[in-house]
Every structure is written in structure tokens, then in C-alpha cells.
Structure 1
Amino acid sequence: MQDWWQDTFPKSRQSITITDANGYPVSIAYGEKGTGKPLILVHGIGSWSYGWRYNIEPLSQHFKVIAFDAKGNGFSDKPAYPDQPGHQAIELARIIQSLCDEPALVVAESLGALTALACVESHPELFEKLVLINVPIFPQGIPNRGMQVLSSIPLDLIKIVDQLRLASFFSPLVRYIFAIERQDVVVDATAITEEDVYWITYPYIEFPNTITKYTEDLQHAAIEIQRLQQKLPSLIGDIQENLGKITCPTLILWADKDNWFPVKDGEKLQRFIPNSRLEILNNCGHDAAATCPDQVNQRIIEFLCDR
């Protein structure tokens, strides 16, 4: 396989060092393409910049596109120390501050979109416009069977799997499982290619501690969802309570065939954010950016270029 970063970005893979939510320096991998206003792409849980493979080139015709791997994901650092729930929003703010010298256009999907909501509520000055895609703002539970299993396994056991590099040893099985699970976020399973599976699973197979950090994030999410349902203080509840304070223009994109989060969640979200509008993506699953890129790119460009 060729180097995806080199094939996608003029300067291939670059990196910046930020101070993470724990106060430690961490290296964040990113790629940059195009000129103009900075457009930050924020991927979902367990993903990395490859998730934007069909969006980077079209969007770079209008903006300076910056795709980064969140800490613990992709080619960014995966520190062995534990993280606390909500670290992603703190680190997103520091990434934007490091890479942008003006308020950014931010496009975020799934858990990345929830992170972006938390970030814009605490740092509105960093955002010029915001695009949210299939955001888990009103979750009823962990939406996927594989995620549910991982979120219930003791983290120490997952660490052993990572330390022994079992994902690398059993790489064909890992790719097979991912290919099966990916059917949950697409409409047409025949569109899942061998190359896609190879790159989606690459960090899990090649980089130690990737599965551990993914599982840790899942377990945090499970706890926060449980607290939300029990009407206890939670990070998701805090985000919900502050939606009305978001002032930047916001576009909400929602897939009509999202198996994880229903369209009614998008309709509800639109009512809470004052300066927002909702648009439905037709015949599209949860991973909209990768599986319905033409619709997604068109809606993003029209919204962000609208003065």
C-alpha cells in the first residue's frame, strides 16, 4: 500500500505538540491542503484523518483544509496514562489555537461533533461556523454491538491484548471483524473496499495502545450515557444545557438511514441551537462523510461559502 498521508497532502504528514488535558506534551498528527480560511475536520470515535478521504480534496478547492488525528487515534500519540472524560474538547481547543491564526470553520462527525459542541460552548471565539454530522447529543446507549462488548471488558485485559500486539498477530481476523462491523454505518455493504478496511484498521494493527485508548473512550462514553439517563450530572447533560448559548452559524447534517442515531435527534438539536439549520442526507448511513461524500461536500461548501 502507498503512503496515504503522502498521497493526500502536499507536505505529507505533519505534527504539532500540544499540552493535553492532563498537562503533558503530546504529538498530534495532521495534514493540510488548500488555501484560504482554515477548515478543521474533526473525526469520530476510533477513527482518524482517513475518515475524511473523500472530503479533503473537494473542500481544499475552497478552504485550507486541516485534518488531524485526535490524541489516542490514528498517527497521534497514545499515552499510557489514563484520560478523564471530556479531554477531547480541551485538546480540540488547543489544536485549533495551534493551527489557526483566526476563527476556524469546523466540520465534525459523530463523537467528534459532540466534542465540537463542547468546545464551541467553552471557546466560542475559536469558531466562525460549525457543521455537525450525525452527532450523539441525545444518546440512548452505546449504539453498536462491538462497541458494547468493548465498553464492558475490563481495561486491564485490553491493555494486555495491546502489550502482546495480538491485533498485529491476528491482523486478518481484526480486518474481517472491522469489515463486518462497518456494515452498521453504511447503506451499501458492497461499497466496503479492501483498501478502506486496510487503512481504517491500520492504527489498531500497527500502533501499540490504540485499542486501549479506543476502549477507554468507549467506557467513558458508556458511563456518561448512563449518568445522563439516570438524570445525574454528566458531560453530555452539560452540553445539552448550553446549546442555546451557541451563537455561530451552525449547519446540522443528518443521514436518513443512520442506524445509530435517528433523524428526530437532529430535529431536536436544531430547535435548541438558535442560529442553526438542519439538512437531511438522503440514502445515507452514519458514516456520512465517507459514504455520501458528494452530498456532504456540496452542503458544506454551500453553507460555508454563504455570506
Structure 2
Amino acid sequence: MGEKVSFWSQVAGASLKQYYVNVNGIRTRVFEAGEGDPLVFVHGTGGHLEAYARNFRSLSEHFRVIAYDMVGHGFSDKPDRPYTIDYLSEHLVGLAEVLNLEQVSLSGESIGGWVAAWTAAHHPKLIKKLILNTPGNITNKPEVMEQVKNSTIKAVKEATLENVKTRLEWLFHDKSFVTDELVQLRYQIYTQPGFERAVYHIVAVQDWEIRKDYVWGPEWCNKIECSTLLLWTDNDPTGTVEEALILQKWIPGSRLYVIKDAGHWPQWEKPEEFNDVHSKFIKEGRL
């Protein structure tokens, strides 16, 4: 069974700071800890930077660790427009410019992995190492698209602690990791003024007419030049390990590592292994 972890117990002792920056007119929330080469984390659909609470303390001993709320997510601004992959990528690139980051290692989870890969393909000089963490439904399965869309909208439009908990439990292999604190935090985010409008923009790429312009494929994936790690799990509800093998063929020289007994959030369910893999791959190029 999962530990009843709390956010502050996980980051206690880290040189953590929270701040906001203006990224192309978007007020953007950032967490940062540590010094050295930058490692940027990108969260998933409807998520927020606290998804990496269990990674800051360990990884900040080796890197300047940065996590942020994507445009339209968490406590960042929520403009009234679809949050497409290119738009989310532009926001990420803009954040790097504001923070004077010339080159970063980039780790994205779920749609954050999609955004990270898109950024690596279209802004190759920015990315040193790329880690795609359960990047989510690369084969565009309609049932997964519907699940992500409907459960996210329900958790916001019918915002109760129980509905938010159900949405979070879908991410985990071990449901006991979904603590009251995690539910309360996401409930607070989902009940912000304007979030009911924003949620439809958040799930925009779950609609095929929007998604089709950004779907995973060799046409753009083979433009990724940096060392790439596909970080999968054996219980990801969005994609099987067999799908990872497809992506491995599309991204030249990419490597695959599978974390066992974890779902869509291995950074939370298996933080020691997750942190160790990140550190070894980024610093030494090994697993």
C-alpha cells in the first residue's frame, strides 16, 4: 500500500522557492530548488507542479530543478483559447527565455511529455536531454481520449471532493497514494474563478479535429536530436509498453525504461527509482 505522503514532508529541507513570472503576458507559477544544470518538469492534463513534490528534494542535490504550471493549468493564467500542443510548447520556450535558460534537460509527464517532445523537435538547441514520462495515448485510442476528457470536465463542472478524488485515482496503480491533501489541493485549483471555462481548453486536444494537427508520428518525432529516454510503466492507463516500442522507432536513438508496479504518475508512486533514473540518465547517459 502507498505511503500517506504529504507535500511539505516531501520538500522539507529543499531550498525550495515559489514565484511568478510573466511569460508572453501569462502570469506563470514556478517552483524551483537547487543549483547547477537546469532540469525542467512539465505536468499532465489538468495537473499542476505539485505532481513533482516527491522529486524536488532528491534531484535538487544534483540539478537546478524547475517545475511550473502550464498555461491554463494550476495557478497560472488561463486565457480563453484552446491549449494546443504548439501553444503549450510556446509557453514552455517563453519560460526558458524569461529564466535565461540556454539549454535544459526536460522531463514531461502525460500531455507534458507530448509538449516536451514537440519542443525538442521544434526547438532542438534548447533541449540537452529529454525524458518522456508516460506521455499518454500516442496511438490516439478514442476510449482513452473520452476518459481523459469526460473525467476532467466532470471533476471541474461537478466539483466535489469525491469527483476530484476519482479523477486522481485514475492516475495511480496504488490508489492509496491519493491522499486527502492531494485531493484538497486539486479541488482548490479546480474551483478557481474561470476554471469551468478553462477546462474545455485544457481537454481540447482530446477532440480529434484539434488533435489531428499534433498527433505523434515519425514526421516530427524523427526531428528530435537530443538523447531521449522513454520512461514507461507496466500499469499506465493511457498506453501499453508495446506502444512505447512504436515511439522508440520514431525517435532516433531513444531508449526505454519501464518502472514496475506504477501507473500514470511514477514520479509519485516510485520516486526513488524515478529520481535515480533521471539522475543517471542526465548526468551519465546511463540507466
CA contact (8 A) 2:31 2:68 kept: yes
* Aligned positions of 1:147-296 closer than 5 A: 147-149=148-150, 167=159, 174-205=160-191, 207-224=192-209, 228=212, 234-237=213-216, 240-296=218-274
Q: Which residue of 2 aligns with 1:170?
A: none
Amino acid at match of 2:235: K
Matched with 1:16 is: 21
Alpha-carbon displacement from aligned partner over 1:63-94 (angstroms, at most 9, x marks no partner): 00011111111111123x22363310111111
Distance change >3 Å, CA 260–CA 91, structure 1 → 2: same
Counterpart CA distance in 2 for 1:88 and 1:118 is 10
Q: Distance in 2 between matches of 1:83 and 1:149?
A: 16
Name the aligned partner's letter for residue 241 of structure 2: V
- Displacement after TM superposition at 1:265 (Å): 1.2
* Higher Cα radius of gyration: 1
Identity of aligned residues (%): 26
Q: Say whether residues 1:36 and 2:36 are aligned partners.
A: yes
Secondary structure of the 2:226 match is coil
Unaligned runs of 5+ in 1: 20-24, 168-173, 229-233
Q: CA offset at residue 273 of structure 1?
A: 1.0
Cα distance 1:35–1:235, how it changes in 2: closer, same or farther (>3 A)? Answer: same
Tell me what 1:109 maps to: 109
User: How far has the Cα of 1:151 moved from its partner?
Assistant: 7.9
Unaligned runs of at least 5 residues, structure 2: 1-5
Change (3 A) 1:189 1:116: same
Once the two structures are superposed, residues 198-240 of structure 1 have per-residue CA deviations (whole angstroms, 9 ceiling, x without a partner) of: 12322112x2122422322213322357x64xxxxx2115x54
**Alpha-carbon separation, structure 2, partners of 1:7 and 1:186:** 24
Counterparts in 2 of 1:304 and 1:185: CA distance versus 1, 3 Å: same
Q: What secondary structure does 1:297 align onto?
A: helix
Contact 2:11 2:56 in 1 (8 A): no
Q: What is the total number of aligned residue pairs between the two structures?
A: 276
Change (3 A) 1:152 1:77: closer
Structure 1 residues 145 and 85: CA distance shift in structure 2, 3 A: closer
**Structure-2 residue corresponding to 1:130:** 130
Paired AA for residue 53 in structure 1: A
Give the 4+ runs in structure 1 shifted more than 3 A: 2-12, 144-148, 150-153
2:51 maps to which residue? 51
Secondary structure of the structure 1 residue equivalent to 2:281: helix
Which of the pair is proportionally richer in helix? 1
Let me know the Cα RMSD of the aligned residues.
2.6
Provide the C-alpha distance between the structure 1 equivalents of 2:30 and 2:147, rounded to a whole number of angstroms. Answer: 28
For 2:242 and 2:21, the matched residues in 1 are separated by: 39
Distance 2:182 2:231 in 1: 23
**Is the 1:9–1:31 Cα contact (8 Å) retained in structure 2?**
no
Task: Tell me the SS of whatever aligns to 2:272.
Answer: helix
Asked if the contact 2:83–2:201 (Cα under 8 Å) also holds between the matched residues in 1, the reply is no
Q: TM-score, normalised by structure 2?
A: 0.87
In structure 1, what is the Cα distance between the partners aligned to 2:209 and 2:281? 32
